[in-house]
Structure 1
Amino acid sequence: MFKTAFVAARDRRRLFVIAGVLIGFGFNKVVDRLGLQAIARMAARNASFPNVARLSPPQRARRAIEALGPTFIKLGQILASRSDLLTPEWTDELGRLHSQVSPVSWEKIRPQLEEDLGGPPDAIFAEFDQNPIASASIAQVYKARLKTGEEVVVKVLRPGLRKIIEADLRLMSNGARIVEREWPEIARYKPQEQMRHLAAGINGELDLINEARNCEMLAAIFADREDIVFPRIHWEHTTERVLVQEFLHGIPLTDHARLDAGHYDKPLLAQKGTDAFLQMALIEGVFHADPHPGNLLAMSGNRIGFIDFGMIGRLSQKRRDQLLMMIGAMLGQNADGLMAVLIDWSGSTAPDLAKLDAAAHGFVQRHSGVNLNLAMVLTDFMTMARENDLSMPTDLAILFKSLVSADGVMRQLDPEFDLFTAAGPTVQQNMKARFSFDGFKKKLAGMGAGLFSAVSDLPALVHLLLVRLKQGKMTVEIEIKGLDQLIHGIELAATRLAIAMVVAAFTLTIAPRLLALGEGVFVSATVVVALIGIGWMLLLRRKRSTPR
């Protein structure tokens, strides 16, 4: 089933590892359905795995994912947020995945770093701490000081990582096609779509130039706000595998002892962080997709600092409109509005409308109180989608994950924090802007541009049609139920139109001249025309009633 001949030429060694891990953690049925039995048995001979017999399937899956490395960990972390696809047993277990790993030694990092910097670190930096301050599955982070005196962080990709990840993505993409074809019960999860988003996200993280651009793009949104801070990029030392940026002096938002000692206004920080996130997502359509506590800092003057921009989410204007409508429906306890959004997101699926209507009204009743818990609300919303056989669009699932993470951070700052209430003014302001008369005019202008484009293409299409007709290369087959009735209606309409044209011609051209000859002549001619028309109608009706 797997294209093993092709795999043998490029990724066979990695496929051996993956198949061996799946067998080792008890996923024999998955291996069989993927057609990897022979490879897996050979790989498992030399592999040793812990006893997993007592572990549940989600626990075994998590352990296998961690054994397979960063590509699979990223996929698992994405699936952990998909309660519209997976039950709580699975999402809770996958939520335990982490990408913190043991650091690569300085001896292995240094050659790659020197190659990218164009010389030894001592020639670029006045100080460079060889002990990483953070180590993840994709990169390691060091603290340094430039010769100009500026404190910076240096992010370095782990050596040899790209080849492994590229092989994983090729194999996982091939596997997604097989799963979507062979497992109808999993096809609604859209494995290939999930893989496209995963590949885009990981490839973005593998290019640190892309991360630097993301940082500057988000910083430009808040160029007029001093209370929202992004690090400055040092482009002269930044490459695809090395990122050098300003070191932000701040306190993690979860370090309450230091925040209290520094007399920070934690409710104010929570509101500012929420405002910034909503500004990015709802207005600009681009947002920080990983707002966990380590990526948000409290800075002097109650400023909020953002760091780590490897994962960025994007929302189209249509998706932002849908999101505004969904949040507005939640705030207004509008079950019909929620149902409409869910149906819009359902795509080609045909949900049970009566069941969905009951689910939407039940959802509104459960969350009609004050001080809503966003994590509970969004999780319940996605559960409602899953129970009605609907799947969320992947971009929105990423946003929901980010919103839940942000809500968790803000609630740690202010236990009374309600993101829905905090979002209310932004949602109302943007809904007014989007659905106001001016907004409607913009949509009309967009429609006009699309119509102009279609009309401008019409001559070329007509020309192509005529060429095909001259060449005799066009065949059109149309099967329409009730075609006889349709033809009859067209013929009848054409007859009426013809009679109307005759009458009009008689009225405008002949009648005035006949009237000049005398009323008797005019009346006689009028009667003749009417009789001809009636006779024509009767003849056509009789013809249509004759069996063919």
Structure 2
Amino acid sequence: MATFQEFMRLAKISLEDKTSHKRMNEIVKIMHEYHVLSGLTPQRAVEVLQALGPTYVKIGQLASNRSDLLPKEYCDAFETLRDDADPMPFETVIEQIDTAYQVSWHTVFASIDPVPLGAASIAQVHKATLLDGTVVAVKVRRPGVAESMAEDITLMKHLLAAGELASNSHREILLSLEGFVEEIERTTINEVDFSIELHNLERFRREIAHQEGVTCPVAYPEYSTESVLVMEFVQGVEISDTVALREQGVDVDALARRVCQSYVTQVLDCGFFHADPHPGNILVRDGEVVWIDLGMVGSLTASERMLVGQAFTAVATDNAYLLKEAVTGLVRIIGPVDHGALLDALSRLLAEYSTAEVKEINVGTVLTEVIELLRSQNMVMVSSVTMLARGFVTIEGVIAQVAPNISVIEIVSRHVIAQQGDPKYVATRLVDLMISGTGSVEALAKLPTQLSNTLEMVDRGQIKLNGNVDVSSRVLATLYASVGRLSLALLSAGLFLGSSILCTTNMQPQLLEVPLLGVLGYIGAFVLGSYCVFRIMVSRHRLLNNEEPR
């Protein structure tokens, strides 16, 4: 039976749904024409999206990055969708600019080229000149596209709500589709709001400022709005046009390494990366790499960057345990998980690549296959990582086209190794170790109390234990001694790590320009460590001479 909450949800969406019956009839007609109810092959699904119009073409492009929710063959098919669309009339472009500025475009631009540089489902781009003579590119949103996409997404929510109300079967599928629609809604909102792309441009330029020979267009926020984006006009050669690049004297192998290193740095160091790195979005201008079209970007948190780095290391070193530890930290669990089967599947996956040369391993392909394995174990990868996997598939295709002898996995491996030697990375790991060590010491300190409480509950009859355990006093004495020495060893390690961190600060008072508290911590750690070693040697001597332990 449907719940009252589901009734209310359907009613709320029905009130918000402004989609006209005409549009509904159009969709139903197209669905009937393509026999959707009889099933769709990946290629047929692409044709349906194209027939439904620009909004659904964009949705298909976004869906290509969600291999955690859709089968791989459909994601691959959706990736073939292109943003090519019939251009808007120039009069419509001018109307959109005037509406955005609320004044005539002549107050901002000296001229606008009526022939578009490119036309897509959401916007088209024109070359223009500012009043000061600066040549820029103007991206203008199509009229009504934001409203159209919002209505189509509302319609999808409506259908999902009706499906949940009609049947309780296939609940997991409906939940996955609901999450997918929510993801599309968030992404499309970012796509149609050019102020977000403006922010992406500004941030991306800051993040890659230290990368030599790599840049992106300069944004002009004073001339940009929600529906109009003004940026530097970039005239260059697509990175895939190797003939033209060689004619200009460009070393395409060095160029491919620079592009690959730039992308790896974006992912592992910045945590802010270009999510659509196809050849048309990577231009070469006077030997300089220019990343364009920052409408679709991905971002990773510090912990996600660390886990992604571990996953890359695991693939390169054929370490299934490390790969499982890394990927399970990047998922959302939606059902029962067989961890043994998952580890076995990951081991077999890596075994397939262990016989291949490292340079022959495709990072994007491996990540995509890992995502498929996780999906089979009721684990859904976070959207940023699935977007990253598709990005690596794309960038590896670009590198293979430009310089087939360049190995992406080798560049990734070298970067991860260099990153582990970075002082910032080491400091972060020391802090993590200190926190973990402190937690272990605290847990060990609580153990006697917890054991005492447990025994008291047993004595009261709140816990019943059945068994007959006969342990000699010698074994118990050895156990107590071992626990005590382990406690001292953990305390010594904690003091050492804490003192190491303190010695990097300017804490007062100091002894020989080193914080006094850190020096005392080192001394304490040395004394405790020495005592532990001494007691271990004494115990070994007594064991060899068959003496009673103390």
Q: Which residue of 2 aligns with 1:25?
A: 31
Q: 1:100 offset after TM fit, Å?
A: 1.8
8 Å Cα contact 2:67-2:368 kept in structure 1: yes
Q: Which residue of 1 aligns with 2:530?
A: none
| 2:272 is the counterpart of 1:282 | no
Q: Which residue of 2 aligns with 1:474?
A: none
Q: Which residue of 2 aligns with 1:500?
A: none
| 2:308 is the counterpart of 1:323 | yes
| 2:117 is the counterpart of 1:111 | no
CA–CA separation in structure 2 for the residues paired with 1:71 and 1:198: 11
CA offset digits 1:10-61 (Å, max 9, x no partner): 43434762465246324xxxxxxxxxxxxxxxxxxxxxx4688998443443
CA–CA separation in structure 1 for the residues paired with 2:159 and 2:422: 44
CA offset digits 1:277-328 (Å, max 9, x no partner): 222221121111111111111121x311011111121111121111011001
Q: Which residue of 1 aligns with 2:481?
A: none
Q: Which residue of 2 aligns with 1:94?
A: 78
CA offset digits 1:473-522 (Å, max 9, x no partner): xxxxxxxx99974854799xxxxxxxxxxxxxxxxxxxxxxxxxxxxxxx
Q: 1:174 offset after TM fit, Å?
A: 4.6
Matched to 2:218, the amino acid is R
CA RMSD, aligned part only?
3.4
8 Å Cα contact 2:42-2:77 kept in structure 1: yes
Matched to 1:329, the amino acid is A
Structure 1 stretches lacking a partner, 5+ long: 27-48, 451-480, 492-548
Show the 5 A alignment for 1:85-484: 85-176=69-160, 182=168, 184=170, 186-187=172-173, 190-300=176-286, 302-348=287-333, 349-368=335-354, 369-370=356-357, 371=359, 372-433=361-422, 438-443=427-432
Matched to 1:416, the amino acid is N
Note closer, same or farther for the CA distance 1:444–1:387 as it changes in structure 2 (3 Å cut): closer
What SS does the corresponding residue of 1:309 show, helix, strand or coil? coil
Q: 1:143 offset after TM fit, Å?
A: 0.6
Matched to 1:430, the amino acid is Q
CA–CA separation in structure 2 for the residues paired with 1:228 and 1:340: 34
CA–CA separation in structure 2 for the residues paired with 1:427 and 1:14: 53
8 Å Cα contact 1:330-1:338 kept in structure 2: yes
Q: 1:70 offset after TM fit, Å?
A: 4.0
Matched to 2:101, the amino acid is L
Matched to 2:203, the amino acid is M
8 Å Cα contact 1:18-1:68 kept in structure 2: no
8 Å Cα contact 1:324-1:431 kept in structure 2: no
CA–CA separation in structure 2 for the residues paired with 1:131 and 1:154: 12
CA offset digits 1:132-163 (Å, max 9, x no partner): 11111111100112232221100000011121
Matched to 2:78, the amino acid is L
What SS does the corresponding residue of 2:140 show, helix, strand or coil? strand
CA–CA separation in structure 1 for the residues paired with 2:155 and 2:431: 45
Note closer, same or farther for the CA distance 1:329–1:225 as it changes in structure 2 (3 Å cut): closer
CA–CA separation in structure 1 for the residues paired with 2:138 and 2:418: 40
What SS does the corresponding residue of 1:360 show, helix, strand or coil? helix
CA–CA separation in structure 1 for the residues paired with 2:182 and 2:456: 44
What SS does the corresponding residue of 1:103 show, helix, strand or coil? coil
8 Å Cα contact 1:343-1:351 kept in structure 2: no
| Range with bigger deviation, 170-179 or 238-247 | 170-179
Show the 5 A alignment for 1:489-528: none
8 Å Cα contact 1:179-1:187 kept in structure 2: no
CA–CA separation in structure 2 for the residues paired with 1:276 and 1:250: 18
Note closer, same or farther for the CA distance 1:272–1:483 as it changes in structure 2 (3 Å cut): same
8 Å Cα contact 2:10-2:158 kept in structure 1: no
8 Å Cα contact 2:135-2:232 kept in structure 1: yes
What SS does the corresponding residue of 2:218 show, helix, strand or coil? coil
Note closer, same or farther for the CA distance 1:287–1:375 as it changes in structure 2 (3 Å cut): closer
CA offset digits 1:399-421 (Å, max 9, x no partner): 11112111211221111121111
8 Å Cα contact 1:179-1:191 kept in structure 2: no
Q: Which residue of 2 aligns with 1:523?
A: none
CA–CA separation in structure 1 for the residues paired with 2:86 and 2:455: 71
CA–CA separation in structure 2 for the residues paired with 1:339 and 1:307: 35
CA–CA separation in structure 2 for the residues paired with 1:285 and 1:157: 28
Q: 1:166 offset after TM fit, Å?
A: 1.8
CA–CA separation in structure 2 for the residues paired with 1:205 and 1:486: 65
Q: Identity of counterpart residues, as a percentage?
A: 27
| 2:10 is the counterpart of 1:11 | no
Q: 1:444 offset after TM fit, Å?
A: 6.8
What SS does the corresponding residue of 1:25 show, helix, strand or coil? helix
CA–CA separation in structure 2 for the residues paired with 1:21 and 1:175: 13
CA–CA separation in structure 2 for the residues paired with 1:135 and 1:387: 39
CA offset digits 1:63-119 (Å, max 9, x no partner): 332233344333322332444443344233323322321111122222121122343
CA offset digits 1:248-301 (Å, max 9, x no partner): 12111112221121121111111111222222221121111111111111121x
What SS does the corresponding residue of 1:90 show, helix, strand or coil? helix
Note closer, same or farther for the CA distance 1:436–1:308 as it changes in structure 2 (3 Å cut): closer
8 Å Cα contact 2:209-2:215 kept in structure 1: no
Q: Which residue of 2 aligns with 1:75?
A: 59
What SS does the corresponding residue of 2:289 show, helix, strand or coil? strand
Q: Which residue of 1 aligns with 2:483?
A: none
What SS does the corresponding residue of 1:367 show, helix, strand or coil? helix
CA offset digits 1:405-454 (Å, max 9, x no partner): 11211221111121111111221233445996522344478899x9xxxx
What SS does the corresponding residue of 2:380 show, helix, strand or coil? coil
8 Å Cα contact 2:138-2:229 kept in structure 1: yes
CA–CA separation in structure 2 for the residues paired with 1:76 and 1:64: 10
Structure 2 stretches lacking a partner, 5+ long: 1-5, 440-453, 465-550
What SS does the corresponding residue of 2:205 show, helix, strand or coil? helix
Note closer, same or farther for the CA distance 1:337–1:19 as it changes in structure 2 (3 Å cut): farther
CA–CA separation in structure 2 for the residues paired with 1:390 and 1:321: 20
8 Å Cα contact 1:385-1:391 kept in structure 2: yes
